[in-house]
């Protein structure tokens, strides 16, 4: 019989971190010279009265993540406001790397001295920013054991770095869409063998629970993590509400005057209430989110969680952290540190200053004290 969880005040909060804030040749070809996520953020426009777009970083700090000073600033700010580590998105397409330069610089330089791990965003890149099969810019495929070994060998120096986050004494590696990779269990087994051969005790694979797949992971996973708000939206939204949304889309296609943004909008507090109250498995890490508004990427087809504000975020963050601590959970993953084009941002901006970070810090300190 498993032992019951014991309350813990040492639950770490890890923030997802997007590296798409530096130019790469592929984005230059696909989107235009000098494209980064800031390009979309700057050109966003409000869809209705009171809609806060564009979001502007505090002091107009449109940074470049290839700048070592920027990476140091992020880590220092995160540490000051009680973020315990970053989970960097990792892009690997059967040997092809994208957006790898910031992580490689962090590894090579040893700086910043701040904990991190990877989430493999194993989906195709598309013009619609949704991993769909249409308008594919670069397709995700996986190869066989030879290609899996290349991927493992690339990651091994990161896994061996003392800053790399571990779970159950092993480096943890999140996978965003494991359901898209039929042979993933075989790859995991191979990686476990190679990890032991390399002198590390293995790898803790973490399944990401999303709107694409909310099923608990099998025995090959050490744990799973709730990716919010999309796991909550999937589990909370009834069939009837989904049917109504599809009907609204059909109306919008016929009548362009239809208020498009309202057709795909959810209330912030209701989503958070669901997240805090629902039952979590023993090895499921709770998730959190700052906000969600991907107008910069999708325009009038945006998906928005409306009503986000720093005070509500702080209130719910405290409840979520307290629940995780009472369960003895080692981690909560928050979406996100810098998803500016999706409205999930802890970094300071012109509208709120440091208010989200202050609320975050206060929530963490209240639970830990």
Determine the average pLDDT of the residues in 8-35.
94
Each residue's pLDDT tens digit, 281-340:
989 999 999 999 999 999 999 999 999 999 999 999 999 999 999 999 999 999 999 999
pLDDT tier, 9 (very low <50, low <70, confident <90, very high otherwise):
low
Is the peptide bond prior to 229 cis by the omega test (within 30 degrees of 0)?
A: yes
Contacts of 147 (CB under 8 A, 6+ apart): 94, 95
One DSSP character per residue, 2-44 reads PPPP---S--EEEEEE----S--HHHHHHH-TT--HHHHHHH-
Determine the average pLDDT of the residues in 182-210.
97
What is the pLDDT at residue 237?
A: 65
The pair of structure tokens assigned to 303 is 């998906």
Specify whether the CB–CB gap between 83 and 111 falls below 8 A. no
Handedness of CA 29, 33, 39, 43 (dihedral sign): negative
pLDDT tier, 356 (very low <50, low <70, confident <90, very high otherwise):
very high
Of 132-141, 163-172, 259-268, 350-359, least confident by mean pLDDT is: 259-268
Instruction: Provide the β-strand partners of residue 288.
Output: 334
Q: Tell me, yes or no, whether 355 lies in a domain.
A: yes
Each residue's pLDDT tens digit, 59-108:
999 999 999 999 999 999 999 999 999 999 999 999 999 999 999 999 99
From first CA to last CA, the distance across the chain in angstroms is 31
Q: Tell me, yes or no, whether 135 lies in a domain.
A: yes
What is the pLDDT at residue 253?
A: 44
Specify whether the CB–CB gap between 327 and 32 falls below 8 A. no
Which CATH number fits the domain that encloses residue 128?
3.20.20
pLDDT tier, 133 (very low <50, low <70, confident <90, very high otherwise):
low
Specify whether the CB–CB gap between 22 and 66 falls below 8 A. yes
What is the pLDDT at residue 51?
A: 95
The pair of structure tokens assigned to 96 is 């092809």
Taking 60 as the threshold, does the pLDDT of residue 2 lie above it? Answer: no
Q: Tell me, yes or no, whether 148 lies in a domain.
A: yes
The bridge status of strand 125-126 relative to strand 338-339 is: unpaired
pLDDT tier, 130 (very low <50, low <70, confident <90, very high otherwise):
low
d(CA 331, CA 85): 10
Specify whether the CB–CB gap between 211 and 233 falls below 8 A. yes
What is the pLDDT at residue 71?
A: 98
Is the peptide bond prior to 24 cis by the omega test (within 30 degrees of 0)?
A: no
Specify whether the CB–CB gap between 47 and 302 falls below 8 A. yes
Q: Tell me, yes or no, whether 6 lies in a domain.
A: no
Q: Tell me, yes or no, whether 232 lies in a domain.
A: yes
Each residue's pLDDT tens digit, 138-188:
999 999 999 999 999 999 999 999 999 999 999 999 999 999 999 999 999
What is the pLDDT at residue 254?
A: 40
Determine the average pLDDT of the residues in 242-258.
44
Determine the average pLDDT of the residues in 120-132.
82
Half-sphere exposure of 63 (CA within 13 A, CB side): 22
Average pLDDT, the chain: 90
3-state secondary structure of 245: helix
What is the pLDDT at residue 216?
A: 84
Q: Tell me, yes or no, whether 111 lies in a domain.
A: yes
Number of neighbours of residue 2 by Cβ within 10 angstroms: 5
One DSSP character per residue, 40-65 reads HHHH---SSTT---S--BGGG----T
pLDDT tier, 369 (very low <50, low <70, confident <90, very high otherwise):
confident
pTM score of the predicted model: 0.90
What is the pLDDT at residue 122?
A: 94
Q: Tell me, yes or no, whether 262 lies in a domain.
A: yes
d(CA 113, CA 309): 31
Q: Tell me, yes or no, whether 52 lies in a domain.
A: yes
Of 16-25, 137-146, 341-350, least confident by mean pLDDT is: 137-146
What is the pLDDT at residue 236?
A: 76
Angle, CA 152 vertex, CA 148 and CA 154 arms, to 5°: 120
As for how many domains the chain has, the answer is: 1
d(CA 346, CA 353): 10
What is the pLDDT at residue 132?
A: 61
What is the pLDDT at residue 217?
A: 86
What is the pLDDT at residue 150?
A: 98
Q: Which domain holds residue 73?
A: 12-368
pLDDT tier, 248 (very low <50, low <70, confident <90, very high otherwise):
very low
């Amino acid at each position: 019989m498993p032992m019951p969880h014991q309350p813990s005040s040492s639950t770490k909060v890890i923030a997802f971190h997007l590296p798409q804030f530096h130019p790469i040749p592929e984005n230059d070809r696909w989107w235009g010279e000098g494209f980064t996520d800031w390009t979309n953020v700057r050109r966003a426009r409000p869809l209705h009265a009171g809609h806060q777009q564009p979001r502007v970083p505090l002091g107009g700090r449109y940074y470049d993540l290839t700048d070592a000073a920027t990476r140091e600033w992020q880590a220092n700010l995160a540490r000051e406001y009680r973020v315990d580590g970053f989970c960097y998105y990792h892009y690997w397409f059967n040997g092809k790397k994208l957006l790898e330069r910031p992580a490689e610089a962090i590894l090579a330089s040893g700086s910043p001295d701040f904990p991190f791990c990877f989430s493999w965003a194993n989906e195709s890149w598309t013009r619609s920013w949704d991993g769909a099969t249409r308008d594919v810019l670069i397709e995700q495929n996986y190869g066989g054991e030879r290609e899996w070994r290349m991927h493992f060998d690339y990651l091994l120096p990161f896994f061996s770095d003392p800053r790399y986050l571990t779970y159950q004494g092993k480096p943890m590696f999140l996978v965003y869409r494991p359901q898209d990779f039929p042979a993933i269990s075989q790859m995991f087994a191979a990686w476990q063998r190679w990890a032991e051969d390399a002198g590390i005790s293995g790898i803790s694979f973490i399944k990401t629970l999303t709107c694409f797949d909310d099923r608990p992971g099998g025995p090959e996973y050490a744990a799973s993590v709730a990716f919010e708000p999309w796991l909550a939206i999937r589990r909370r939204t009834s069939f009837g509400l989904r049917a109504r949304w599809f009907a609204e889309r059909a109306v919008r296609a016929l009548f362009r005057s239809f208020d498009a943004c309202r057709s795909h909008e959810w209330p912030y507090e209701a989503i958070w209430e669901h997240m805090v109250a629902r039952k979590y498995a023993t090895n499921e890490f709770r998730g959190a989110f700052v906000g969600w508004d991907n107008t910069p990427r999708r325009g009038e087809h945006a998906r928005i969680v409306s009503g986000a504000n720093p005070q509500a975020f702080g209130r719910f963050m405290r409840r979520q952290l307290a629940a995780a601590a009472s369960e003895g959970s080692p981690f909560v993953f928050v979406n996100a540190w810098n998803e500016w084009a999706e409205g999930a941002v802890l970094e300071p901006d012109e509208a709120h200053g440091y208010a989200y970070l202050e609320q975050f810090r206060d929530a963490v300190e209240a639970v830990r004290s």
